[in-house]
Amino acid sequence: MSADKETFADLIDLPEENAQEIDFAKAVGKVDKLKQDTIVKTTALMDKELSHIKREAAERDNKQEYDDHVSSAFVPIVDPNEVLSWKTPGAQPYLLRKLKNGEYREADFIDLHGKTIDEAYEIVRAFIRHAKQEEFRCVLIIHGKGSRQVKKAQMKSYVAHWLKQMNDVIAYHSAPDFKGGTGAVMVILKKGDKASALNRELHARR
């Protein structure tokens, strides 16, 4: 990761005084917090994360083209140990193979353990938006398996459902075992404007 790139954890450690209040309770109804699974230990999110997420969400009126199509309705529930694997129709098949084999290194990550579905919804949207702005190509989301919950794999199911609806996400696959296995997902994002422009320039020179 280059020195001028800001991780999501860097941003969420900002002062709270400018944070705007938002309502997390929407679309989903009553949810239970997830207990900790045995998975990768992480310190990616700091105590002030929700303040930053609130501020990010308050800006969504200016980013409606990004957020409007992400719904929490009709979420297919997956098995706690199920391998998540998905790509857009135009994405190259090798992306999933490389994700499965751990050939991509994540530029940033978040851990959703202990979050409600409502909180995770805002965190994931802001995280993906930030990653795209920083032109990160691969990120890691630790959602847990949810095997000990009354409602099995709830967080995992919602994360998979949200990611499919995000325009900047082109593929994802459950992480290799050393990165969390089926309790985490590796996500590939579209190339940023700078990378796309560079590719066009290189092709034009050939």
CATH code: domain of residue 169: 3.30.1370.110
Q: What is the pLDDT of residues 61-71, one digit of tens each?
A: 445 445 546 88
What confidence score (pLDDT) does residue 6 get? 73
183 within some domain: yes
Tell me how crowded residue 206 is: count the other CB atoms within 10 A of its CB.
Answer: 4
DSSP assigned state of 47: T
Specify the pLDDT at position 46: 54
Is the per-residue pLDDT at 11 higher than 70?
no
- Is residue 174 one of the residues assigned to a domain? yes
The answer to whether residue 92 sits within a structural domain is: yes
| pLDDT for the residue numbered 20 | 41
Q: How buried is residue 109: exposed, middle or buried, by Cβ count under 10 Å (0-12/13-18/19+)?
A: buried
Residue 194 — very low, low, confident or very high, per pLDDT cuts 50/70/90? Answer: low
Q: How many residues does the chain have?
A: 206
| Mean pLDDT, range 56-65, rounded to an integer | 52
Per-residue model confidence as pLDDT tens digits over 118-177: 999 999 999 999 999 999 999 999 999 998 887 889 999 999 999 999 999 999 999 999
Whether residue 131 lies inside any domain: the answer is yes
33 within a domain of the structure (yes/no): no
pTM for the complete prediction? 0.68
11 found inside a domain? no
Q: Which domain holds residue 100?
A: 40-67+77-205
Task: Name the domain count of the chain.
Answer: 1
Is residue 8 domain-resident? Answer: no
pLDDT at residue 5, rounded to an integer: 72
- CA 204 to chain centroid: 34
CB 176 within 8 A of CB 101: yes
What are residue 141's phi and psi, to 5 degrees? -120, 120
Confidence check: pLDDT of 27 > 90: no
Strands 108-111 and 138-142, by their bridges, are parallel
Cα–Cα distance for residue pair 159/3, rounded to 1 Å: 29
pLDDT at 73: 84
For residue 23, being part of any structural domain is answered with no
- Indicate the average pLDDT of the chain: 79
The more confidently predicted of residues 107 and 197 is 107
pLDDT of residue 198: 45
DSSP string, 108-143: EEEE-TT--HHHHHHHHHHHHHHHHHTT-SEEEEE-
The pLDDT value given to residue 96: 96
